[in-house]
Amino acid sequence: MRLRCAVLDDFQRVATEIADWSPVADAVDVVSFDTHHADEETLAAALADIDIVVTLRERVPFPGSLIARLPRLKLIVASGMRNSVIDYAAAETHGVTVCGTASSSTPPVELTWALLLGLARGLVQESNALREGGPWQQTVGADLHGRRLGLLGLGKIGSRVARVGLAFGMRVSGWSQNLTRERADEVGVELAPSKEELLRTADFVSVHLALGDRTRGLLGAAELALLKPTAYLVNTSRAAIVDQDALLAALREGRIAGAGVDVFDTEPLPAGHPMRTAPRLLATPHLGYVSQANYATYYGQAVEAIQAYLAGSPVRRLPASGTPDVQAVPARSDNAGRQ
């Protein structure tokens, strides 16, 4: 009997085009969902006849209650090598294999700088005004050279953001609960003596921390109040690291110059959500990982994972506790024309 594979949240409808699915075409029928299933009931109904699920990042939770409702489910392939919303114990209990893929840190680094530069030079306001016949030159851009970039987190992504900041001639400082002077020296940045000092002195603050018990709500109203009124905040990490109500209040009251946000408390962002209309906000719909090369890796390795599972030798099994996302490998030559 042929198996059925569901690709979730394929909003751009590219999953079956950006990778070569022919290696599993004889055994697997693929259905792609371009809309999000927001609750367990609708997701369980949509996946009732599905054997394999390819899920994108951590947007769709797979708790034990859902897995128990999917008796045909045999394999979950998650993009990336970390996923905190899959109940691995329940998957094992119900005989469901979970596998991951490689993931590159390059796209979120690049998007961080797209947001930061867009904020600093008022690109959205100026572009809209130009196209709509509005005023000519309505903003005065914030310089980067000589200004201070404060990074919360100096891991794989944060360190690469730091190097770009240094190339712009910025003074870069970093802080996290585990950051050492040796690590800061290795990257070539200053070690901030405290989170509070970093926030007080930075002209631009960018968040690059994993979400956990110690980082949830790390930036609340008290922390945001430390920012200069001319400072900008960028978050391409996880929404829950920054108190969303406190951020909205700071933007509405003009207590910071602006924010660039790619992550939200609910995704996709509901119509009417206050983040859609907040002033001084440059927002993107969680594009940090969305790039041609990353998608080619995600879906190309999803096909490999399905092929390996069918052969009885699953690859890149999860959970890979403590293992960071591995760098994406170059797309195979037979996918080059599909990017």
Please provide the average confidence, as pLDDT, over all residues in the chain. 93
pLDDT recorded at residue 225: 98
List, for residues 133-143, the tens digit of each pLDDT value: 999 999 999 99
Bridge partners (DSSP) listed for residue 20:
none
Q: In which residue are the tokens 């005004």 written?
A: 129
DSSP letter at 145 equals T
For the beta carbon of residue 32, count every other beta carbon within 10 angstroms.
Answer: 16
Residues in the chain: 339
**pLDDT, mean of residues 80-89:** 94
The amino acid occupying position 82 is R
No. of helices (H) and no. of strands (E), the chain? 11, 12
Q: Is the pLDDT of residue 321 over 80?
A: no
Find the helix or strand (DSSP H, E) in which 167 lies. Answer: helix 156-167
User: Could you list the active site residues?
Assistant: 238, 267, 286
Find the helix or strand (DSSP H, E) in which 250 lies. Answer: helix 244-252
Q: Is the pLDDT of residue 41 over 90?
A: yes
When mean pLDDT is compared across 37-51, 183-197, 212-226, 319-333, the lowest value belongs to 319-333
**pLDDT, mean of residues 276-303:** 97
pLDDT recorded at residue 221: 98
**pLDDT, mean of residues 286-312:** 97
| Contact assessment for residue 173 and residue 202, using Cβ atoms and an 8 Å cutoff | yes
Q: Is the pLDDT of residue 242 over 90?
A: yes
pLDDT recorded at residue 40: 95
| Confidence class for position 38, pLDDT limits 50, 70, 90 | confident
Q: In which residue are the tokens 């034990």 written?
A: 64
Beta carbons within 8 Å of 180's beta carbon, 6+ residues apart: 191
Tokens at 236, concatenated: 């391409």
List, for residues 178-228, the tens digit of each pLDDT value: 999 999 999 999 999 999 999 999 999 999 999 999 999 999 999 999 999
Would the pTM count as exceeding 0.75? yes
